[in-house]
């Protein structure tokens, strides 16, 4: 039985999940070398390939092939509603659905899709399709393939995070079960809304935990690099500094705004709970502020995995990719 490893290359951490027989067996996270990812993009594919190789070797992470998350800065992902059609017809039509987004020749891109829902008429005949479609430059895929080749790894799939998370949703989920996934990352907070395992929408707030570093640096008169290590270790309870509490409050209000907007657009479903993931989920006062502001139960995203792994809370995207 072959093993697949899912890779989620964040801006601060590399997350790896190993999957065998459709079950997550191991999750591992390693801090990335400083400056190796800027504005969501890998600065040097060669250096990242070497880092991945070394990390897997040093930590005895063994697998047969790999799947990777493509960052939102390098792929377009959108919901589409189209008339019912065959795979061949979709292949021809998808490039036109992205014409407002793509900048170069349409043939320079790869396109992919997942069917979220088939819409039937009164006679049960299929009349429409709800899709999640993605487009990425062929050169981007070649860069990623080259990076993994350098690490001695065969890259099987590259998918956007929205598709990876769907792989973690229960196939038997109640069609009205509405939930939200919040990723409190290093450079961004991202919200993903799902109804009955079907992706509905996403939203990104363009600041994450790194926004706390300047506040901690100023309050404690240290440089932001030191502040970052203080924050992760919660040195002298710096996560509870009033300056940090203000930032949590701003984050919670922004998240609340997105949640209100979603509820307004989807009045027929009840948002039942929020699954929280990303390293920011480990910052207790931030989590408490979110819970108090939103008044919705906040659950560990590890509930979506069937294992109790140390880094399960931050390895969700990598797990979803490996399950593709
Ligand atoms: N125990 C902890 N206490 C406080 N902060 C933590 C802890 N563990 C991780 N973090 C912080 O949480 C943030 C997000 O971590 P995560 O692993 O989600 O980053 P990432 O995936 O690289 O970021 P992004 O998805 O934004 O690119 C980082 O700033 C990290 O320093
Ligand atoms: Mg991340």
- pLDDT tens-digit map of 107-131: 899 999 988 889 999 999 999 999 9
User: Ligand 1: which residue has its CA nearest to atom 20?
Assistant: 10
What ligand 1 atom has the least distance to the C-alpha of 239? Answer: 4
Over pLDDT 70: what percentage of the chain?
Answer: 99
- Whether 87 is covered by a domain: the verdict is yes
What is the model's pLDDT at position 53? Answer: 98
What is the model's pLDDT at position 172? Answer: 61
Rg (CA), the chain: 20
Q: What is the mean pLDDT of residues 263-269?
A: 90
Q: Is residue 318 lining ligand 1, measured as CB closer than 6 Å?
A: no
Position 293 confidence tier, pLDDT thresholds 50, 70, 90 = very high
Q: Is 306 a residue whose pLDDT tops 80?
A: no
Output the DSSP codes for 54-123: HHHHHTT---SEEEEEEPTTTEEEEEEEEES--HHHHHHHHHHHTTTT--S-GGGEEEEEEEEEEEE-TT
- Domain of 148? 3-72+139-168+317-322
Q: Is residue 132 lining ligand 1, measured as CB closer than 6 Å?
A: no
Q: How many residues does the chain have?
A: 324
What is the model's pLDDT at position 129? Answer: 95
- Whether 307 is covered by a domain: the verdict is no
Work out how many domains the chain is built from and give that number. 3
- Whether 173 is covered by a domain: the verdict is no
Position 136 confidence tier, pLDDT thresholds 50, 70, 90 = very high
156 and 10 part of one domain: yes
Write out the two tokens for 12: 């601060």
- Nearest ligand, measured from the Cα of 29: 1
**Do residues 48 and 147 touch, judged by C-beta distance below 8 A?**
yes
SS3 157: strand
Average pLDDT value for the chain: 92
207 and 258 part of one domain: yes
What is the model's pLDDT at position 274? Answer: 92
Q: What is the mean pLDDT of residues 237-260?
A: 97
CA quadruple 261, 317, 240, 298: dihedral positive or negative?
positive
Q: Is 171 a residue whose pLDDT tops 70?
A: no
What is the model's pLDDT at position 61? Answer: 97
Task: Please state the pTM of the whole predicted model.
Answer: 0.94
* CATH number of the domain encompassing residue 218: 3.30.420.40
**Do residues 170 and 197 touch, judged by C-beta distance below 8 A?**
yes
- Cα of 210 vs centre of ligand 1, distance in Å, is 8
Among 151, 218, 184, 187, smallest CA distance to 289 is for 184
Position 272 confidence tier, pLDDT thresholds 50, 70, 90 = confident
* CATH number of the domain encompassing residue 86: 3.30.1490.300
């Amino acid at each position: 039985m072959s093993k697949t490893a899912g890779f989620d290359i964040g801006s601060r951490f590399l997350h790896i999940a190993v999957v065998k027989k459709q079950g997550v067996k191991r999750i591992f996270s390693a801090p990335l070398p400083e400056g190796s990812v800027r504005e969501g993009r890998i600065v040097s594919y060669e250096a990242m390939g070497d880092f991945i190789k070394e990390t897997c070797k040093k930590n005895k992470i063994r697998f047969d092939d790999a799947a990777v998350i493509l960052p939102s800065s390098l792929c377009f992902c959108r919901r589409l509603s189209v008339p019912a059609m065959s795979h061949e017809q979709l292949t021809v039509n998808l490039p036109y659905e992205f014409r407002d987004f793509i900048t170069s020749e349409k043939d320079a891109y790869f396109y992919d899709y997942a069917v979220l829902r088939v819409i039937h008429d009164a006679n049960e005949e299929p009349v429409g399709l709800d899709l999640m479609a993605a487009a990425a430059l062929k050169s981007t895929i070649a860069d990623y393939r080259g990076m993994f080749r350098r690490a001695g790894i065969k890259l099987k799939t590259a998918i956007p995070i929205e598709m990876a998370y769907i792989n973690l949703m229960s196939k038997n989920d109640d069609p009205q079960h509405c939930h939200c996934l919040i990723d409190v990352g290093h450079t961004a907070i991202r919200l993903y809304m799902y109804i009955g395992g079907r992706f509905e929408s996403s939203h990104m707030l363009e600041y994450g935990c790194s926004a706390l570093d300047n506040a901690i640096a100023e309050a404690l008169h240290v440089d932001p690099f030191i502040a970052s290590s203080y924050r992760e270790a919660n040195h002298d309870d710096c996560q509870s500094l009033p300056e940090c509490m203000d930032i949590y409050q701003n984050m919670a209000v922004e998240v609340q705004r997105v949640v209100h907007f979603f509820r307004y657009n989807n009045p027929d479903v009840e948002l039942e709970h929020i699954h929280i993931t990303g390293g920011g989920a480990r910052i207790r006062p931030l989590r408490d502020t979110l819970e108090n502001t939103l008044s919705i139960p906040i659950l560990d995203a590890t509930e979506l995995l069937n294992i109790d792994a140390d880094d399960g809370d931050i390895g969700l995207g990598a797990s979803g990719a490996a399950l593709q």
